[in-house]
Amino acid sequence: KNIVILISGSGSNMACIVQAARREQWHKRFDAQIACVISNRPNAEGLSLADKLGLANQVLDHQLFASRQAFDAELMQLIDRWQPALVVLAGFMRILTPDFVEHYAGRMLNIHPSLLPAFTGLHTHQRAIDAGCKVAGATVHQVVAELDHGPILAQAVVPVVAGDTAQSLAARVLSQEHLLYPKAIREWLERA
């Protein structure tokens, strides 16, 4: 079962998933492996991380495409070369077209840095602080056409503490994402 991971940035979630897959021998337990990492940003730090981890990796620069549809169509082709059982969005900062989402229905996951359904979209940590939330967190969910919606598979909760900035809260949430996402994918594979 091939897993394809899509990234746009530092790729720390991607690396944690790969490390968990190796440590927990997902290839033996689930016949599953991380087949490829694809970034829409040529300079994403996660690409060199993927290199270091010995993973096939590829860039598809969305800026070279005239439309969202054209980018998504090409991305779909790249992904489908691997015939993936699962597509994992790990800090992939692109809104996906309904056709793309439909094509991977039931086999595409995302992680979002808030306790959904609160705070869809961007700037989740600042918005949680501004709202006076006492807890924040992260959510792994199945991807549906509507942004940051879809069935929730797992959540992690962290406290918001006095003096928190968006940055300090983001770091606290991210450290939990690193445990949550591998766990949610493992559970998905157990059910698959």
- Retrieve residue 91's tokens: 């800090």
- For residue 112, indicate whether it is catalytic: yes
Q: Which is nearer to ligand GRF, 10 or 33 (CB)?
A: 10
Q: Looking at 38, 79, 88, 91, which residue binds ligand GRF (CB under 6 A)?
A: 91
**What is the pairing mode between strands 135-142 and 108-112?**
antiparallel
Q: Which is nearer to ligand GRF, 79 or 111 (CB)?
A: 111
Rounded to 5 degrees, φ, ψ at 189 are -65, -35
DSSP E strands in the chain: the ranges are: 2-7, 33-39, 57-59, 86-89, 108-112, 135-142, 152-159
Report if residue 175 touches ligand GRF, rule: CB under 6 A.
no
Q: Considering the rule CB under 6 A, would residue 10 count as an interface residue with ligand GRF? A: yes
Q: CB under 6 A: which stretch of 3-11, 19-27, 60-68, 153-161 binds ligand GRF?
A: 3-11
110 annotated ligand-binding residue: yes
The 3-state DSSP class for residue 149 equals: coil
How many CB atoms lie under 10 A from the CB of residue 78?
15
Contact characters 59-88, ligand GRF, x per CB under 6 A: ------------------------------
Measured on CA atoms in the order 118, 8, 166, 161, is the torsion positive or negative? positive
Residues near ligand GRF, by CB under 6 A: 7, 9-14, 46, 90-91, 111-113, 138, 174, 177
